[in-house]
Amino acid sequence: MALEGSSRCVEKRRNIFNGLIQTELKKSSQYLIGMHSIAEAIHTGKEINKVFIKKGLQGQQFSELFKIIRQKNIPFQYVPSEKLNRINPGNQGIIAVLSLIEYKNLDEIVQRTFEKGDDPFIIVLDQITDVRNFGAISRTAECAGAHAIVIPSKGSVSITADAIKSSAGALNRIAICRVSDLVRTVQMLRERGLIAIAATEKTEKPYYSVDLTGPVALILGSEENGIHYNLLKIVDSMVKIPLLGSIESLNVSVAFGIIAFEIVRQRRNDR
């Protein structure tokens, strides 16, 4: 019975894994097959959402392409060859999913915002992988006048057609910045004068007790894992939304909406 249960668990994980690949490819507007096509797309400036690579793939052409993938901080994942063959048998061991949006440079956005005389409002998402939550956050962020959303290149949501639909088109209007290291990025934002605020249950300080009128980087984590410890160590302040019921936390997109419009309220009152 134990072996049977273990086999079911392995099969379940395999099915989930296969489904994730198929979903990411099917819901993307386009994907590229083969090393030459992918290299050409990168060189011409096309945005790559993710690259799937056959386990054990080798050779000089792949080594050169992989070096570029790493340099550009393009997310990648090793997968068994049979998974790629189901998509296209002539895949050369590598398939790239083209992004539906153009990623922006965070440093340039912060600089331009300051030059306009505005206080940057930057959202940093740690381990947010749910497409609908991400879409809802993006929609609220655009409505609240946020300047950019930052996501990590690994362990984050893929921006698919479903994400854009869930955002009601906001993902085509608000800047999305993909970075390789959230800790370094938050440190950079603090050096540029932004106050890093983490929305977390690991504090007793209510969100409305903090001054949110200046330059702000608001950090949110997934409902399952919260914000990574390394990020919490470097923030300027941690805030929470007081809850009166028995459920321990709000949906992350709802929590973001509450805090985002507290930022709007404080800034309007300040002006």
Q: How far apart are CA 144 and CA 261, in angstroms?
A: 6
Give the residue carrying structure tokens 């946020």: 146
Q: How far apart are CA 67 and CA 58, in angstroms?
A: 12
pLDDT for 210 equals 95
Count H helices and E strands in the chain, helices first: 10, 10
Q: How far apart are CA 234 and CA 255, in angstroms?
A: 21
Q: How far apart are CA 150 and CA 129, in angstroms?
A: 13
pLDDT tens sequence across 197-227: 999 999 999 999 999 999 999 999 988 889 9
94-98 and 48-54 as β-strands: parallel, antiparallel, unpaired?
antiparallel
pLDDT lower than 50: segments of the chain: 1-4, 10, 12-13, 15-18, 20, 26-29
End-to-end Cα spacing for the chain = 67
Q: Are 197 and 263 in contact (CB under 8 A)?
A: no
Q: Which amino acid is at 32?
A: L
pLDDT tens sequence across 93-128: 999 988 888 899 999 999 999 999 999 999 999 999
Exposure of 65 by Cβ count < 10 A (0-12 exposed, 13-18 middle, 19+ buried)?
buried
Domain ranges of the chain: 28-98, 106-270
Decide: helix, strand or coil at residue 94.
Answer: strand
CATH fold group of domain 106-270: Alpha/beta knot (3.40.1280)
Q: How far apart are CA 173 and CA 102, in angstroms?
A: 11
CATH fold group of domain 28-98: 60s Ribosomal Protein L30; Chain: A; (3.30.1330)
Q: Are 96 and 29 in contact (CB under 8 A)?
A: no
